[in-house]
Structure 1
């Protein structure tokens, strides 16, 4: 490990490595890390690791990626080019199946490798590309859980482009309109006073039409962690694209993140969300979370025919009391809104069967049950919400 003038350069390189691996490490984290290193003994690896982890890791699911990156980078900055470093970390044991974080870290370590010389051009051949699929189309059909770091970044870019124009509904308000369907006698008489009391023009009103409120309840338990990370970009885009949007996260507790998602910068918004959500990738209490929403938030955000998106896999592992609470809370939520749409990533399986008791309880109580595991499923959701529901 280098010290002196090389420490700042190595710290900057380590921050770039974590950012390429998917961690939200920016200038604020680097400045905080540099300040933290002044307070600890740099020669002690444990103190160095604790200082960097406290300033660069904001989520529990990022800790494992940070630990692997720390062992690789502060052992040898060029460890990404040597397979012996990976063998040393495994202790001679057969390597386990790499997870998404390990795959992103390996890609980040090898990002700066020199490109291999292009091979000699082969002989010109005719290829039938009738049945081939473009990279963009393949990305739209790929499961979020199977994407690597580059594919997730591309998927987030595509998701930010999605807009959610909900079908407009008439309200009880009216506004002046030259060809409105209702006569405005008060405005007509007021305007006639300027003409000496003669009614020369009939003022009219038109009923105001606007999209209904949108409420999103997203599960962030361990089984939903990977999907929730990607869907957060969809929620951020929707929240900044339209008004009257309320977003809630629930695992073991319910958290309102609407104000944090209003920030225009997605990285800053997600960092603020990470500070107020302590139960990311933890347990799940769907029934208790829905009951708390019905008690404290339903009357505030479910007016004027709101549409509710419930994003969860429905894997409630409670007993009879928890299942009864889940059923009653879901039923009350259904009657409090105009449309209750359940978005379930488990529907990505062709042979999906509602075997879980929580899924069996919730399934008859929702208006729609749709998949949400790739970009195409989100596009289908947008098209569904933009059309009027069938009665």
Structure 2
């Protein structure tokens, strides 16, 4: 790297670090162009030939959160070789990792044995990426354990709403009370005009999770996603639906996901039974939704739409729900699969009253759902038209 009068890093370093960024992307990290440029600026300020400087320049600019640190360390180990700085490795990994060393960055022309390790990392990253996209119903026991870890690490922010309460702000409406108090302190003179704006509060999210027989391969993953959402943000209500409606919000409050699922298993009496979506949705609205739980909330219904009850009742209750809720999201594990069409009786009846129909068969699909729930959206364009047979 050139310093002083030079404007940026050497071209060889840029090419080498571009290859490293591609390795990070293969490992599942974002590592976009903006972060890459930030890393190059950091390397220009530091000494690229010092392993500690190079490590921290990359880690502080390319990692988007704690979940990226282990991937970053593994990528550095595979791409450059060497040891992680001692203070960087403490408490971050269960096993020691190897990372950039001085000799690795000295030889930027590719005369090292790193490509072999890079190929191994690329294979591991490809396996991880495939696992994120794998259907929950096809996983082995070993893969399920890894998927559980991935679900526990999903980001969950959630939508917000404007409160009636206000707070001091740099911009907004003039706050008459604070203006009056300021004038009293200054003997009646007006020196400043304090302003106020409405607060943002978390918008409630209500999850209705189908635990009937047809949803059995996906039920555990849906419950673990609900636990992650409940632990990461306030104002989340969780119910199971099958032949009965069961509120499991309290069970989801357990810190450990396995303990939460055990509590849910003890509380839910209708695992792997039939599905009466219309009746249970009516029960939810009569007991909780109409009284305020569904008002202004984002309601997420996770089901494949197989209805054994009255389809007309489901359509009526979905219309009723849509009038109360801010938005209705339907998660179907079969969306996106080859040949899928929303032709199941329950799905066809509910479709006209849904804002978004999304997939829910994999970790990647849940990541997209979490991102969707972080948006405070209004009625959006429906992803599927109403089938003619249901019109």
Q: 1:166 aligned to 2:158?
A: yes
Does the CA-based 8 Å contact 1:220-1:250 persist in structure 2? yes
Match of 1:140 among 120, 129, 132: 132
Q: How does 1:354-373 map to 2 (within 5 A)?
A: 354-373=342-361
Task: Give the Cα–Cα distance (whole angstroms) in 1 for the partners of residues 258 and 182 of structure 2.
Answer: 53
In structure 2, the residue matched to 1:206 is 197
Change (3 A) 1:240 1:129: closer
Q: 1:175 aligned to 2:167?
A: yes
Task: Give the Cα–Cα distance (whole angstroms) in 2 for the partners of residues 129 and 160 of structure 1.
Answer: 26
Task: Judge which range, 378-387 or 366-375, deviates more.
Answer: 378-387
Change (3 A) 1:253 1:130: closer
Task: Give the Cα–Cα distance (whole angstroms) in 2 for the partners of residues 176 and 128 of structure 1.
Answer: 55
Q: 1:253 aligned to 2:241?
A: no
Match of 1:276 among 263, 267, 271: 267
Partner SS, residue 346 of structure 1? coil
Structure 1 residue 348 displacement after superposition = 4.5
In structure 2, the residue matched to 1:66 is none
CA RMSD of aligned residues (A): 2.4
Stretches of structure 1 lacking an aligned partner (at least 5 in a row): 1-124
Residue deviations 1:283-338, cap 9 Å, x none? 211111100111111133123x31111000110123xxx11111111111111111
Structure 1 residue 388 displacement after superposition = 4.9
Partner SS, residue 269 of structure 2? coil
Change (3 A) 1:130 1:180: closer
Q: How many residues align structurally?
A: 262
Stretches of structure 2 lacking an aligned partner (at least 5 in a row): 1-115, 382-391
In structure 1, the residue matched to 2:216 is 225
Does the CA-based 8 Å contact 1:348-1:373 persist in structure 2? no
Task: Give the Cα–Cα distance (whole angstroms) in 2 for the partners of residues 156 and 128 of structure 1.
Answer: 27
Task: Give the Cα–Cα distance (whole angstroms) in 2 for the partners of residues 221 and 260 of structure 1.
Answer: 19
Q: How does 1:267-306 map to 2 (within 5 A)?
A: 267-298=258-289, 299-303=291-295, 305-306=296-297
TM-score for the superposition, normalised by structure 2: 0.62
Task: Give the Cα–Cα distance (whole angstroms) in 1 for the partners of residues 184 and 122 of structure 2.
Answer: 73
Residue deviations 1:322-367, cap 9 Å, x none? 1111111111111111111110012242101233222221122211
Task: Give the Cα–Cα distance (whole angstroms) in 1 for the partners of residues 304 and 269 of structure 2.
Answer: 20
In structure 2, the residue matched to 1:65 is none
Structure 1 residue 373 displacement after superposition = 0.3
Q: How does 1:51-70 map to 2 (within 5 A)?
A: none
Partner SS, residue 310 of structure 1? strand
Structure 1 residue 129 displacement after superposition = 9.2
Structure 1 residue 184 displacement after superposition = 1.0
In structure 2, the residue matched to 1:336 is 324
In structure 1, the residue matched to 2:373 is 385
Task: Give the Cα–Cα distance (whole angstroms) in 2 for the partners of residues 130 and 160 of structure 1.
Answer: 23
Structure 1 residue 128 displacement after superposition = 8.8
